[in-house]
Structure 1
Amino acid sequence: MGALEFRPTLWPSLAVIVLLPVLVGLGIWQLERADDKQAILDARAAANQAPALALNDRMPSMKVAMHRRASVHGHFDNERQFLLDNQVSNGVAGYRILTPLRLAGSDRAILVDRGWVPAPARRDRLPDIDVGGGERRLTGRIDDGPSVGLRLGAAYVGDGGWPRRIQYLDYQAMGNALPYELAPYLLETGEAAQQVQPAGMRFGPRRHYGYATQWFALATALVVIYVGVNLRRRTIHE
Structure 2
Amino acid sequence: MALVVCTCLALSVWQWQRAAQKAYLLEKRQSGHVIADFNATIDLQNQRALEGQQFRLHGHFDDSRYWLLDNQIVNGTPGYDVITLFRPIYSEEWLVVNLGFILATHSRAVLPQVALPSSLQTVNVEFKIGKWAGFTLATQPDLNTAQPELLQYLDHAFFVAQTQRPIAVSLAYASDQIINDIQPHYEAVVMGPDKHRAYALQWLLLAVAAMVVPYLAYKRKSDE
Q: Is TM more than 0.5 here?
A: yes
What SS class does the counterpart of residue 30 from structure 1 fall into?
helix
Name stretches of at least 5 consecutive residues in structure 2 with no aligned partner.
177-183
Contact 1:85 1:167 in 2 (8 A): yes
Whether 1:218 aligns to 2:204 is: no
Contact 2:69 2:82 in 1 (8 A): yes
| Paired residue type of 1:112 | V
- Shift in alpha-carbon separation, 1:216–1:148, aligned structure 2, 3 A: closer
Whether 1:170 aligns to 2:155 is: yes
Alignment of 1:50-89 (within 5 A): 52=36, 54-55=38-39, 58=42, 60-61=44-45, 63=47, 66-67=50-51, 68-89=53-74
Paired position in structure 1 for 2:181: none
Which stretch shifts more, 201-210 or 94-103?
201-210
| Paired residue type of 2:69 | L
Q: CA offset at residue 102 of structure 1?
A: 2.7
| Paired residue type of 2:196 | P
What SS class does the counterpart of residue 5 from structure 2 fall into?
helix
- Shift in alpha-carbon separation, 1:124–1:36, aligned structure 2, 3 A: farther
Whether 1:157 aligns to 2:115 is: no
Alignment of 1:33-112 (within 5 A): 33-38=14-19, 40-41=21-22, 44=25, 52=36, 54-55=38-39, 58=42, 60-61=44-45, 63=47, 66-67=50-51, 68-89=53-74, 92-104=77-89, 108-112=93-97
Whether 1:128 aligns to 2:120 is: no
| Paired residue type of 1:223 | Y
Q: CA offset at residue 213 of structure 1?
A: 3.3
Structure 1 vs Structure 2 CA RMSD:
3.8
Contact 1:108 1:183 in 2 (8 A): yes
| Paired residue type of 1:21 | A
> Normalization by structure 1: what TM-score?
0.67
Deviation per CA, 1:63-101: give whole Å up to 9, x if none: 456414322112222331122223344555432221212
Paired position in structure 2 for 1:113: 98
- Relative to its length, the structure with more strand (as a share) is 1
Contact 1:138 1:189 in 2 (8 A): yes
| Paired residue type of 1:189 | A
Q: CA offset at residue 41 of structure 1?
A: 2.8
> Normalization by structure 2: what TM-score?
0.70
> Following the alignment from structure 1 to structure 2, what is the Cα–Cα distance between the partners of residues 180 and 23?
47
| Paired residue type of 2:14 | R
Whether 1:27 aligns to 2:19 is: no
| Paired residue type of 1:187 | A
Name stretches of at least 5 consecutive residues in structure 1 with no aligned partner.
1-19, 233-238
Q: Which of the residues 218, 224, 227 maps onto 2:219?
A: 227
Which stretch shifts more, 201-210 or 128-137?
201-210
